[in-house]
Amino acid sequence: MNAAGFPLLSILTFLPLVGALIIMTLRGEEAAVAANARWTALWTSLITFGLSLILWFRFDKSTADFQFVERVDWLPEFGISYAMGVDGISVLFVLLSTALVPLCIMASWESVQKRVREYMVAFLVLLTMMVGMFCAMDLMLFYVFFEAVLIPMFLIIGVWGGARRVYAAYKFFLYTLLGSVLMLLAIIALWFSAGTTSIPELAEFDIPFAMQVWLFLAFFASFAVKVPMWPVHTWLPDAHVEAPTAGSVILAGVLLKMGAYGFLRFSLPLLPEASAYFAPFIYVLSIVAVVYTSLVALAQQDMKKLIAYSSVAHMGIVTLGIFTFNQQGIEGALFTMLAHGVVSGALFLCVGVLYDRVHSREILRYGGVAKIMPAYALVFMLFTMGSVALPGTAGFPGEFLVILGAWAVNPWVALGAATGMVLGAAYMLFLYRRVAFGKVTRDDLRALLDLSPREYATFAPLILLTLWMGLYPQSFLSFFSVTVSQMVNSHQAAMQAASRLAGL
Amino acid sequence: MFVGAVFFPLLGATISGFLGRWIGERAAMWSTVICMALAAFCGVSAFMQVAMGGQPTTEVIVTWMDVGDLEFAWALRYDTLSAVMVGMVTFISTLIHLYSVGYMSHDETRPRFFAYLSLFTFMMLMLVTADNLVQLFFGWEGVGLASYLLIGYWYEKESANAAAMKAFIVNRVGDVAFMLGMALTFFIFGTLEFDAIFAAASARANDTFAGLPALELIGVLLFLGAMGKSAQLGLHTWLPDAMEGPTPVSALIHAATMVTAGVFLMCRMSPVMEYAPVALAIVTVVGASTAIFAATIGCVQNDIKRIIAYSTCSQLGYMFFAAGVGLYQAAMFHLFTHAFFKALLFLGAGSVIHAMSDEQDIRRMGGIWKKIPVTYAVMWIGSLALAGIPIFAGYYSKDAILEGAIAANSVVGTYAFACGILAAFLTAFYSWRLLILTFHGKPRADQHTMDHVHESPAVMLIPLLLLAVGAVATGFTFAPYFIGDMQEAFWNGAIFNLPAKHMMEALHHAPHWVPTVAKITAVSGIALAVVLYGLFPQVPGRIAAAVPGLYRFLLNKWYFDELYDRIFVQPAKRLAGVFWQVGDVRIIDGMPNGAAAAVAGTARGAARIQTGRVANYAFAMIIGLVLFVSLFLLGR
């Protein structure tokens, strides 16, 4: 069967759905239903997280193969099966998803007061879809989960969002859907030529270069929007601004990783030559993303928008790292994805703490918060530094490795990525200065309470992770090193084969 | 012992920072002081064992990262170079902690201050004991963070916030170069650990990268990083503004320790730098230019702390050009002695500010030397050491640097010597200008302030006196070890000199006129200041009036801030606005929004056709039929 002895990945995937069903059956007085929904959702997500820890302890880091594999024929006549498995690339993202959702539910404990039951259902469904997507070993299955993620997220933004939530939700949905349609075409084309949608089998399959180019572009359309890469990034700030705090956390923490994960899972291994062919194009887009969105972040007046733009800049580092095709670059990209998931998720929570108290995201509305909420200021400072990639926090190892990897490709690319160090420091410190420092000028701020025990509990795991990832990144890097090194080797082999073919 | 020297300050910072609210301010404060004292004890004994006893050692803690070929660990490397720094940093930091107990006694959030101070010390110690470039970078950024927090300690002051941000961001500009330097080092050497790099340096001396000599490029990139941290010409703008922080911070960070990290980096990388003659020439020229540039500004400033800050900037220039001509030993020696007398000067200035009810402008001081005799005396000692008067510590190190510049026997060396001598003259001049304006003449403060002038408490005076001893004694005590007969045994291979250059020997055969000229310059600088400010106090004003352009140029610090604001800050802000409002909102969002609007418009148009009137439909059908038939006929 597999290392766990039972279908762990399927349980991880569908357990939240069971919790969602239970919540849906709740009946009775509104307050009681809300309370029950909250507790059920929290316990379901916590149990899921607890189970997912088995992956952390039992994952075999010495092999690049898929592990915990489950396989059931789904549509055998089409060669499509229900296949689940994790390898070094996906395993930590499963953990990231299961870890963030309980925190999101805790963060929404008081801030969400209307339609609590439906909200919790949406979050649990979202968890199912995210875990399923990272575990899918079949292209068709992946596509189903990948698309299904949109639905709960669309609802979370559209129902529990801010003033312009409908505009933001539609923009989010249409942008991502438009890309996905092209991906579906690519999947069908792949299936026609290879006769299977199993990812490990496809990796063995040789695709002619001309077809690779088209397939690459189709996948690119989908993943670039999800990442999001410049210039298809504008849905993100709107979505973040309108989404409720927990929605932003999960959007930044996990959903943005789906695009980059797609690049790593499909574009690189299946389409090596096209990937190499388009790499310079990706570098340019990534560097533009770093410089352009960092500058835009500098001009923002809205806290959430600022952090949203910073996410685009960080994801620029990620896409850059992926397309360096070397060990440092790719591991750096993976690490940045995880670190960004933790740090930017935490930053959105920090904004949420203030928003819950003052109901404003406008930067100029604040000032001198450090004086009134010292513990909060410390937490906020830590995550600010994490975002700035100060060594010793989670942000650093990834950025450092990507720059190292980029240098091997082209020093100018490395320089472009490194400018993010300066600009990132500029906009984050500017934000921090205007929010936390200065004199308290508004009287209503004086009455703010510092972090509540619930908020401490929400932040504690993130603080721990931020420092752990910065000080001892090895415990995370060790998960991907074998898989990545195999990926780099097979990419080089494919490139050599291609050049030999061209030489004939 | 080795671990304790580094981690006691972290313990202190943790206790004070997190438990400060529960254990009370006094307990928090003193716990950091005690932790620092323990660290200093460990640090000084480490210095005795490693540097004086010649037993270098490395303590590996745990692997930090292992990615492909890249592997490095958290480790504490103790060779003479780090032992000198550890001993000096822990010792001076302890004194400054002690001093702060008195200086910050009226502050509201003392545990926070002491936590930052200890955190800073910890980061500095991580920097100097690193055994790979990445850990060095950890400390490098860590001191950057601590200095950001300390400069902005009084965060209700807008100017302090601005200065803190500026310090962090300007440093980051240098750090980009540092980061790229690391990337290139990894590319060339395949490792970032010092031992492996140093062992391979001579074999890689002729490697090229993109057509350029690789080691030269590494040297230049790392030096650019060092320029940021050590406030060298071009990236110096943050240092004077950093005086917004409390005075003990200026003494610890902006004189004795953090800003010297760049010099330390150059010395640490000496095995690589020695194979990069062009990079070294750049180091020399920038260092020498900074020395003279900062000294000119120091002559006209009126803020007591800013004068000393520019003097720091200038002295760092000396250290850099010493390293640039290949005399790392002399650079380290000057770093070492400078730490004592500059901390002394800053803390003395703090004592003056304390006495003058927080007045910092020397134009509103004067006539107070009788009221604060101890402070007055130590300021004299500090200034004598700074000016390089014999017997005092600065004399030995500065002299060695000037002699070395001549002994280097090169164009850049001679340029450095010329700048160095001129800067020495100006240094002596502005030091005595400061002394005379601060302590002598008629009191220019108001009566109320003058009545309150008082000597500082013992807890502040004891550190001052100990530093004063250091400012006198460290020169002749340590000269034989750092640059004299015993230097080879003392450094024990921690610093690498290219054998072909014979720099250490050349130093001892430098022309005999050099020390004499240096002494004469220093004394004449002092004499000029005494004449201008002591005897004819109306003259300086007239000189300033006679050359208003030059005066304003110097007073405004060569207009660097204005220039940077014009060419970096403002364009960045404008660009940010354009990218956002035009790029994102109008162009990128305009397209999908426009497309959506077009779809909606078409749909509305299509809806309008469906009027429900039979006649309209019949008309459309006939038109269609006619078109269809004619097409059919034409096509046939």
Quick: pLDDT tens for A396-435: 999 999 999 999 888 899 998 888 888 989 999 999 988 8
- As given in the structure block, the two tokens for residue B90 are 């822990």
- As given in the structure block, the two tokens for residue A179 are 């890309």
pLDDT tens per residue, range A117-151: 888 889 899 999 999 999 998 888 899 898 888 88
Question: Nearest CA of chain A to the CA of B181: how many Å?
Answer: 10
Which B-chain residues 55-94 have CB contacts (< 8 A) with chain A? 62-70
Which chain B residue's Cα is nearest to A174?
Answer: B592
Nearest to B65 among A171, A415, A473 (CB): A473
User: In A, which residues are within 8 Å of B169 by CB distance?
Assistant: 422, 425-426, 429
User: In A, which residues are within 8 Å of B180 by CB distance?
Assistant: 403, 407, 411, 414-415, 418
Task: Give Cα separations from A83 to A79, A98, A135, B601 (angstroms).
Answer: 11, 20, 8, 46
Q: What residue spans of B190-269 are helical by DSSP H?
A: 194-201, 214-229, 238-241, 247-251, 261-268
Angle at A484 between CA A481 and CA A490, to 5 degrees: 140
| Over residues B527-546, mean pLDDT | 83
Closest CA to B93 of B299, B244, B251: B251
Residue A385 pLDDT level (bands cut at 50, 70, 90): very high
Range of weakest confidence among A206-220, B458-472, B616-630: B616-630
Instruction: Evaluate the CA torsion angle B517, B519, B523, B526 in order and state its sign.
Output: positive
Nearest to B156 among A326, A439, A477 (CB): A439
Residue A503 pLDDT level (bands cut at 50, 70, 90): low
Q: Report the pLDDT value the prediction gives residue B27, as an integer from 0 to 100.
A: 87
Q: Report the pLDDT value the prediction gives residue B203, as an integer from 0 to 100.
A: 85
The answer to whether A331 contacts B67, with C-beta atoms less than 8 Å apart, is: yes
The yes-or-no verdict on residue A480 having pLDDT over 80 is: yes
Which B-chain residues 555-584 have CB contacts (< 8 A) with chain A? 572-573, 575-577, 579-580, 583-584
SS3 state at B358: coil
The answer to whether B65 contacts A401, with C-beta atoms less than 8 Å apart, is: yes
- As given in the structure block, the two tokens for residue A18 are 């069971």
| Over residues B485-510, mean pLDDT | 79
Q: Report the pLDDT value the prediction gives residue A347, as an integer from 0 to 100.
A: 93
Q: How far apart are CA A137 and CA A74, in angstroms?
A: 13
Q: Report the pLDDT value the prediction gives residue A4, as an integer from 0 to 100.
A: 59
For an interface test with A, the pick among B7, B14, B67 (most A C-beta atoms closer than 10 Å) comes out as: B67
| Over residues A473-497, mean pLDDT | 88
Whether residue A182 lies within 8 A of chain B, CB to CB, comes out as no
A50-81 burial, b at 16+ Cβ within 10 Å, e below that, comes to ebbebbeeebeeeebebbbbbeeeeeeeebbb
Q: How far apart are CA B554 and CA B293, in angstroms?
A: 9
| Over residues B446-453, mean pLDDT | 81
Question: Nearest CA of chain A to the CA of B148: how many Å?
Answer: 10
Task: Give Cα separations from A34 to A41, A124, A248, B168 (angstroms).
Answer: 10, 15, 22, 47
CB of A238 within 8 A of CB of A158?
no
Q: How far apart are CA B254 and CA B231, in angstroms?
A: 10
- Residue A265 located in a structural domain: yes
Residue A1 pLDDT level (bands cut at 50, 70, 90): very low
- Residue A261 located in a structural domain: yes
Whether residue A3 lies within 8 A of chain B, CB to CB, comes out as no
Q: What residue spans of B299-410 are helical by DSSP H?
A: 304-324, 328-355, 373-387, 393-407
Closest CA to A434 of A344, A309, A306: A306
Range of weakest confidence among A271-275, A391-395, B145-149, B483-487: B483-487
Closest CA to B34 of B118, B103, B108: B118
Residue A348 pLDDT level (bands cut at 50, 70, 90): very high
Q: Average pLDDT over chain A, rounded to whole? A: 87
The yes-or-no verdict on residue A384 having pLDDT over 90 is: yes
Q: Report the pLDDT value the prediction gives residue B426, as an integer from 0 to 100.
A: 92
Domain that holds residue A295: 8-503
Q: Report the pLDDT value the prediction gives residue A2, as an integer from 0 to 100.
A: 58
Nearest to B180 among A327, A392, A414 (CB): A414
Q: Which pairing describes strands B57-67 and B212-213: parallel, antiparallel, or unpaired?
A: unpaired
Question: Nearest CA of chain A to the CA of B498: how many Å?
Answer: 29
The answer to whether A474 contacts B65, with C-beta atoms less than 8 Å apart, is: yes
- As given in the structure block, the two tokens for residue A185 are 């075409």
Which chain A residue's Cα is nearest to B70?
Answer: A328
Which chain B residue's Cα is nearest to A370?
Answer: B155
The answer to whether B155 contacts A438, with C-beta atoms less than 8 Å apart, is: yes
User: In A, which residues are within 8 Å of B181 by CB distance?
Assistant: none
The tally of domains found in chain A comes to: 1
Q: What is the CB neighbour count within 10 angstroms for residue A423?
A: 23
Q: Report the pLDDT value the prediction gives residue B579, as an integer from 0 to 100.
A: 78
**What letter would DSSP give residue B106?**
T
Which A-chain residues 125-154 have CB contacts (< 8 A) with chain B? none
Angle at B544 between CA B538 and CA B545, to 5 degrees: 90
- Residue A380 located in a structural domain: yes
Nearest to A407 among B141, B156, B187 (CB): B187
pLDDT tens per residue, range B555-607: 777 778 888 888 888 888 888 777 777 777 777 777 777 777 777 777 777 77
- For residue A228, whether the previous peptide bond is cis, meaning omega lies within 30 degrees of 0, is yes
Which chain A residue's Cα is nearest to B112?
Answer: A374
User: In B, which residues are within 8 Å of A473 by CB distance?
Assistant: 64-65
| Over residues A331-341, mean pLDDT | 93
- As given in the structure block, the two tokens for residue B84 are 């000198």
Q: What is the CB neighbour count within 10 angstroms for residue B447?
A: 8
Whether residue A397 lies within 8 A of chain B, CB to CB, comes out as yes
The yes-or-no verdict on residue A3 having pLDDT over 70 is: no
Residue A239 pLDDT level (bands cut at 50, 70, 90): confident
Which A-chain residues 272-311 have CB contacts (< 8 A) with chain B? 292, 295-300
Q: What are phi and psi of B54, to 5 degrees?
A: 70, 40
Question: Nearest CA of chain B to the CA of A123: how many Å?
Answer: 29
- In single-letter form, the type of residue at position A305 comes to K
Range of weakest confidence among A2-6, A235-239, A377-381, B85-89: A2-6
User: In A, which residues are within 8 Å of B183 by CB distance?
Assistant: 403-404, 406-407, 411, 414
User: In A, which residues are within 8 Å of B145 by CB distance?
Assistant: 385, 390
Q: How far apart are CA A498 and CA B398, in angstroms?
A: 63
Q: Report the pLDDT value the prediction gives residue A235, as an integer from 0 to 100.
A: 86
- Residue A1 located in a structural domain: no
- As given in the structure block, the two tokens for residue A81 are 């099966």
What percentage of chain A has pLDDT greater than the value 70?
98
Q: How many CA atoms lie within 13 A of B75 on its CB side?
A: 20
Interface A-B, measured as beta-carbon pairs within 8 A, has a size of 142
Sole residue written with tokens 């610890």:
B252
Nearest to A401 among B67, B138, B165 (CB): B67
pLDDT tens per residue, range B92-147: 999 999 999 888 888 888 888 999 999 999 999 999 999 899 999 999 999 999 99
SS3 state at A136: strand
Range of weakest confidence among A184-198, A243-257, A321-335, B539-553: B539-553
SS3 state at A5: coil
**What letter would DSSP give residue A109?**
T
Q: Average pLDDT over chain B, rounded to whole? A: 86
The answer to whether A411 contacts B184, with C-beta atoms less than 8 Å apart, is: yes
Q: Report the pLDDT value the prediction gives residue A261, as an integer from 0 to 100.
A: 92
**All residues at 6 or more sequence positions from B329 whose CB lies less than 8 Å from its CB, including other chains:** B482, B483, B487, B491, B495, B504
Sole residue written with tokens 């917004």:
B244
- Residue A2 located in a structural domain: no
The yes-or-no verdict on residue B286 having pLDDT over 90 is: yes
What percentage of chain A has pLDDT greater than the value 90?
23
- In single-letter form, the type of residue at position B210 comes to A
Which A-chain residues 212-251 have CB contacts (< 8 A) with chain B? 231-234
Angle at A104 between CA A99 and CA A107, to 5 degrees: 130
| Over residues A325-338, mean pLDDT | 92
Q: How many helices (H) and strands (E) does chain B have?
A: 29, 4
Q: What is the CB neighbour count within 10 angstroms for residue A3?
A: 13
User: In B, which residues are within 8 Å of A408 by CB distance?
Assistant: 187
CB of B192 within 8 A of CB of B70?
yes
The answer to whether B142 contacts A404, with C-beta atoms less than 8 Å apart, is: no
Nearest to A438 among B158, B184, B186 (CB): B158
A81 bridge partner residues:
A73
Residue B319 pLDDT level (bands cut at 50, 70, 90): very high
What percentage of chain B has pLDDT greater than the value 90?
26
- In single-letter form, the type of residue at position A171 comes to K
- Residue A3 located in a structural domain: no
Which A-chain residues 435-474 have CB contacts (< 8 A) with chain B? 436-439, 472-474
| Over residues B401-428, mean pLDDT | 89
SS3 state at A83: strand
Closest CA to B230 of B177, B273, B184: B177
Which chain A residue's Cα is nearest to B64?
Answer: A472
The yes-or-no verdict on residue A106 having pLDDT over 60 is: yes
User: In B, which residues are within 8 Å of A403 by CB distance?
Assistant: 179-180, 183
B213 bridge partner residues:
B208
- In single-letter form, the type of residue at position B568 comes to F
Whether residue B211 lies within 8 A of chain A, CB to CB, comes out as no
The answer to whether A296 contacts B183, with C-beta atoms less than 8 Å apart, is: no
| Over residues A267-273, mean pLDDT | 88
SS3 state at B475: helix
Q: How far apart are CA A263 and CA A219, in angstroms?
A: 8
The answer to whether A414 contacts B183, with C-beta atoms less than 8 Å apart, is: yes
Question: Nearest CA of chain B to the CA of A475: how many Å?
Answer: 9
Q: How many residues make up chain B in this entry?
A: 636
- Residue A474 located in a structural domain: yes
- Residue A362 located in a structural domain: yes
A75 bridge partner residues:
A80
